[in-house]
Amino acid sequence: MTESINELVDKLPQRNITTMALEALDFVIPGEWDNTIGWNNTITVLTGAQGRDAMAISAKAMEIYANERNGYQTAMWLYESLDNADTALGVAALADKVGGRIPLFGGLIDRLTPKADTVQSLDLALKIAVEVIAYCKINGLAEASIGSFTNALRTEYSGPSLIRAAALVCFDGLVPLGPDFLDVITRNLNTLDTGHLSNNGVFKTVSRVIPGGGVDDKLNFISNSVTGVRGWMSNLITSRGLSPQKVTGNLQKFVDISDDKLDYLAAFLDMSTNYFEHTGTQSVARHLILRAQREL
């Protein structure tokens, strides 16, 4: 463990491209996510505690996090690994310069390369599988249970966890792969060569925590994870009337990109945001703080 959870939460930015992108999804889950940052502030927001009470909760939460057997460190590593696998463009400073819309033109757009559908499908599938595993680690389950996760997704997910799930649908599904993205990724997974999976950078990073004795077993877990979330994702799309056009229209409120360059939008989000790590840090902190409060 290189950094404690309080340090990670204290490092979260108030406003950058990631938070602006997530704010653009407020129409999907209105009022559900606030960008709560700062460790002590998060304790107060979640529990109302201040002073010595907040200090006690803080100490207990950090004690729980430091114990590797509790699974929080593994979950945090997973959230970080998914975003670190992408190559950062280093354009975060643009958010401060423009204050609102980020210009996506010239040399910047030349550095973006839209991913092939097969690669994008696998990236989304891996993120879904990692979300399953991270949920189970945070909640102390001995094994990764897709059933437990899908039930929680329907009944428990809120705040940073829910906005992350919505971002999976919008940023990694609808924008790059279209309205039938669930069928697209299922088809691509069914025809995926295990050699292609073995050579995937994200898979190489997280494969050791994906259940299964070999690549075939791990691919089966990934595919089953996608199957497990299909119902929830389909319902979100239908109930909110989501479409690629609706999502990109909201994103265009902060990214200045013309309609004929929308193919680059998914690549831009991939390479310039870390929404998985940002909201994952908030989810881990939230669970820890509320657990610490209960155990005191």
In the chain, where the domains are located: 5-295
Secondary structure class of 256 (helix, strand, coil): strand
Q: What is the pLDDT of residues 69-102, one digit of tens each?
A: 999 999 999 999 987 655 444 444 444 444 556 6
Q: Distance between CA 185 and CA 120 in Å, rounded?
A: 8
State pTM to two decimals: 0.93
Q: Which residues of 104-143 are buried (b: 16+ CB within 10 A; e: fewer)?
A: beeebeeebebeebbebbbbbbbbbbbbbbbbbbbbeeee
Quick count: other Cβ atoms within 10 Å of Cβ 275?
Answer: 25
Q: What is the pLDDT of residues 184-193, one digit of tens each?
A: 999 999 999 9
Q: What is the pLDDT of residues 216-275, one digit of tens each?
A: 999 999 999 999 999 999 999 999 999 999 999 999 888 777 776 777 888 888 888 899
Rounded mean pLDDT, 117-121: 92
Segment among 100-104, 197-201, 213-217, 272-276 with least mean pLDDT: 100-104
Phi-psi region of 4 (alpha: psi -120 to 50; beta: other; left: phi over 0): beta
Which residue stretches of the chain are H helix?
5-10, 17-23, 39-47, 51-66, 72-84, 93-98, 106-110, 117-138, 146-155, 159-169, 175-177, 181-190, 194-198, 201-206, 215-240, 244-251, 265-272, 275-295
Q: What pLDDT does 142 receive?
A: 87
> 101: which DSSP letter?
P
Compute the mean pLDDT over every residue in the chain, rounded to the nearest whole number: 90
Q: What pLDDT does 111 receive?
A: 67
* CB distance 79 to 284 below 8 Å: yes
Q: What pLDDT does 131 receive?
A: 97
